[in-house]
Structure 1
Amino acid sequence: MEYLIPPPGTLTTKLAALSCGVEPATIRDWVRRGILARCGGTPKRPVYRIEDVQTALATAKANRAGRRKSTAA
Structure 2
Amino acid sequence: MESQMIRPGHLTAHQTARQLGITLDGVRQLVRRGQLTRSGGSPRQPWYAVPDVAALAVKRQHRNAA
Common fold by TM > 0.5: yes
Contact kept, 8 Å, 1:39 with 1:49, in 2: the verdict is yes
Deviations 1:39-63 (A, max 9, x none): 011111110001101222333453x
Aligned equivalents of 2:45, 2:35: Cα separation in 1: 18
Question: Percent of pairs identical after alignment?
Answer: 34
| Cross-structure match for 1:21 | 21
Query: Please, what is the CA RMSD of the aligned residues?
Result: 1.8
Structure with the higher helix share, 1 or 2: 2
1:11 is aligned to 11
- Runs of 5+ consecutive residues of structure 2 not aligned to the other structure: none
Measured in 2, the distance between the counterparts of 1:59 and 1:30 equals 13
The range that moved more, 51-60 or 17-26, is 51-60
Deviation at 1:21, TM superposition (A): 1.4
Q: TM-score, normalised by structure 2?
A: 0.78
Point out which structure has higher relative CO (alpha carbons under 8 A, 6+ apart).
2
Number of aligned residues: 62
Q: Which runs of 5+ in 1 are unaligned?
A: 65-73
TM norm structure 1 = 0.71
Please give the per-residue CA displacement for 1:16-52, whole angstroms capped at 9, x wherever unaligned: 1111211111111100000000001111111000110
Structure (1/2) with the larger strand percentage: 2
